Chains A and B, each alone.
Chain A
C-alpha cells in the first residue's frame, strides 16, 4: 500500500515516537521485529508532523533518528500532533461538513431530509457524484450523537437530528486557561484540540520541568478516567516494557499517580487476581476495555487511602510492614535552604530541627528502598542514616563507595 501521511491505528506510531524521543540511539536495522519499510514509513510520518524537532546522527553503524526538544522554550507539546493524524474516508469528510452545514440553522432534520439536502444543495453540483447510502448516513448521525455534536428527538416513528450548539460556547473567555491547562493537565491534548479551533490562541506560558511524553498515553488515560467516573472495572492489555510480553489484567481503577519528577504516570487499582492494590504504568497499557460497575468501589478506595499515607513513590512492594527511616543532616548557618528543602520535599515524612545547623528527617514507609535516590541528593551533608531495613543503609553505603571510585576518590569501605 502506498505511503499515507495519516494513520488508522495509533499503537505503532506511539511506540516509534517513544523510541525516538526517549532513546534515539538505535539505527534503522536495530528496530527489532518491525520491518524496514514500516520503520521508513513511521519515520517519514513523524518527520512530516514534527519536522523541526527531529534530528539525525550519522556514525559508521548507520543513521540514528531522535526527537530532541527543550520543553522549557516551547509553548505547545508537539507530540499532540500524533492525535491529529487519524485517517478517514472520503465519505467521512463529506458527511462531516454536509451534515453540520445542513443543521447549522438550528433546525431539526430527519435522515431522509438530510440525504435529500445533501443531494440538492451540494452533490448536484458535481456531475457523477453519488449520495452516501442511508445506512451510512444513519451510522454517522449516531456516531455524532454519541460524541455530543448532535442530539436526536423522536417524532412519531422518525428520528430527527439537531446540532447541540443552540448558543455558541464562550470559548474566547477560556483562551489563557486553555494555553495553560493544555500543557499542564494530564489530558491536555483535549485542550490542544480546543486551541486548534481558535484563531489566536494564547502564548502566555512556558513550562519548566515539563515532561511531554505522557501525551502519547492520553487515549489510555481517557478510557481509564471514563471508567473511574462510572466506577467500572477495566480489562487491560499490558505490555512488559522490557520483554514485550503481553498480559491481561482485570482491575478496578482508583487513582492516577503522576511523578512530576519523571513524567511517569501510573494507574493504582484493585487487582482481582491476588486481591490487592497494584500500580500499572500507563505507558505499558495497550488497551483498556470497560467492564461492569463495581459495587465495592468505595471499599477499594478506602484501602487506597490507607495505603497512600505510607507511600513514598509507587513501589509495588506488597509487604504490609513499615520501614522506619531516619536521616540526620548537617548544614552551615547560611544554608537555611536545606531545612526548607526538607520541609518542601518530605512527602509523608516529618522534619525535626535539632539545633541551628542540624535537622532530622523521619519517615515510616512501605518500601524505604524508594527513598534512596532522594537521600543521595543530600550526599555531603548526611551525618547519620538509619533504617529498620538494613539493606537500605547497606545499598546507600555501597553506592557511595562506587561513586567515590568513579570519581577517583577514596573507595575505602564505609563503617
Chain B
C-alpha cells in the first residue's frame, strides 16, 4: 500500500531530472549532481547509467527530456484521505490550509481512532483564538526572518519581556505543547507557547548573522539488568536520545546516552521509573540524587506520620 515505487526516491529523482532536462540538455555532470543531491548514497551507480544507456528511455542522446511536459503526478487517493483526516485534528487550526480538492474525499481515519493513553492532560489550547494568533505571528517571523518581542509569564507567574530571534517551534507529543525556541545574546530560550501572552514582529535580521548556541549535552551511563523484558522496554523508552548500547554479560548491558542538562529532573524520574532494572553508573551527582530519593523513601515508609 505505502511501499510503492510511485512514492519512491528513484521516481522522484527521475522526475526532477526530467523537469530540468525539459528546459534544455543536461550535462552528464549535472545529471550526476542531481542524483547526488536528491537520491540515496549509492544511487549514482544506477540512475545516471540507466538514463544514459536508454535502459529507461526518458532522455535522448543529448540528455534532453523526451516528454512533452515537465513531469507531474496527481495526488493519490491515499494522500488525499490522509490530508482529509488532518482536517479533524484540532491542531490544523494553527495552519489554515486550502482544502479545495478534498470536498468529496473520505478521511483515512477519525479523530478518536487514536488513543494517546499516556499523554498529559494540560495540552495547549488549540481552539483559542489568541493562541492561534500568537502561533501565526511566530510562523510569520520564522518565514520572513524577523525578530520578535515576546511577553510571557514565567513558572512563578512573573511577566517578562524578551526581544529575541526565533529559531524553531518545538512540539512534544507527550506534553501536547508547543514551545518557541529563540535566541537572545547567544543564549537559547525555550518558552511554552501557552505562557506567551503577546508576540510582536520586530525588524528583519540577516540569517547569515544568526548563530545557534550549542547546548553542551551531558552523558549518562546506565547499567541495565535484563529482567521483566527490561532490555526492550528501556531501549525503546530512551530511543529518542542519541545512545549506544553494549552487552557486558548475558543479562547485563551498558547504555550510554546524551541529554540536555535542562532536562535532568525529567531524565532522573524516567530512570527511577524502571526500578532495579536500571542503575546509574555516572555521573556521580546523578547517582547521588537517586540515592537520596531512595533513602528518603525508605525512611518515609519506615516512619509513617
Contacts and interface: CB of A to CB of B under 8 A. Distances in A.
Nearest to A177: B95
Interface in B105-145: 106-110, 112-122, 139, 142-143
Given A256-B113, A308-B115, A24 B245 contact: yes
B41 A258 contact: no
Contact of A70 (B14, B258, B293): B258
B170 A22 contact: no
A56 to B, nearest CB: 11
B11 A190 contact: no
Contacts of A255: 112-115
Contacts of B236: 22, 211, 213, 262-264
A164 to B, nearest CB: 5
Interface string B67-101: 11101111111111011001001011001111011
Contact of B77 (A129, A147, A340): A147
**Chain B: interface residue count, which band?**
35 or more
A186 B43 CA distance: 29
A254 B14 CA distance: 40
Contacts of B174: 208-209, 260-261
Given A129-B54, A167-B101, A379 B82 contact: no
B292 to A, nearest CB: 7
A414 B298 contact: yes
Given A170-B100, A177-B92, A258 B115 contact: yes
B162 interface: no
Nearest to B238: A262
B210 interface: no
Interface in A218-274: 218-219, 222-223, 225-226, 228-229, 241-242, 255-264, 268
Contacts of A48: 40-43
Interface in B3-38: 3-12, 14-15, 18
A225 B10 contact: no
B76 A148 contact: yes
A205 B298 contact: no
A38 interface: no
Given A207-B172, A377-B272, A406-B279, 15 more contacts: A5-B46, A6-B8, A70-B241, A83-B7, A90-B56, A177-B95, A180-B171, A204-B139, A204-B142, A262-B237, A311-B117, A346-B121, A380-B296, A385-B301, A407-B290
Given A70-B242, A407-B287, A206 B181 contact: yes
B291 A407 contact: yes
Given A85-B40, A209-B175, A399-B275, A96 B298 contact: no
A139 B233 CA distance: 46
A91 B51 CA distance: 13
A84 B142 contact: no
Nearest to A93: B56
Interface centre among B4, B69, B77, B297 (most CB of A within 10 A): B297
Interface stretch (A119-127, A153-161, A316-324): A119-127
B108 A187 contact: yes
B149 interface: no
A194 B82 CA distance: 11
Q: Is the interface of A mostly helix, strand, loop or mixed?
A: mixed
B74 A148 contact: yes
A404 B283 CA distance: 18
A191 B82 contact: yes
A353 interface: no
A244 B247 CA distance: 21
Interface string A307-343: 0100111100000000000000010000001001001
A206 B171 CA distance: 6
A370 to B, nearest CB: 10
Given A177-B86, A344-B122, A403 B66 contact: no
A122 B244 CA distance: 53
Contacts, number: 384
A75 to B, nearest CB: 8
Interface residues of A, number: 147
A165 interface: yes
B194 interface: no
Contact of B72 (A104, A122, A123): A104
B181 A373 contact: no
A356 to B, nearest CB: 15
Contact of B73 (A100, A260, A264, A415): A100
A304 to B, nearest CB: 9
Contacts of B119: 260
B170 A344 contact: no
A209 B1 contact: no
B117 A313 contact: yes
A376 B45 CA distance: 54
B208 interface: no
B153 interface: no
* 5 closest A-B pairs by CB: A148-B77, A380-B293, A165-B74, A402-B276, A88-B5
Contact of B121 (A70, A344, A379, A384): A344
Contact of B7 (A24, A84, A148, A406): A84
A190 B115 CA distance: 20
B305 interface: yes
Interface centre among B50, B79, B275 (most CB of A within 10 A): B275
A206 B275 contact: no
B251 interface: no
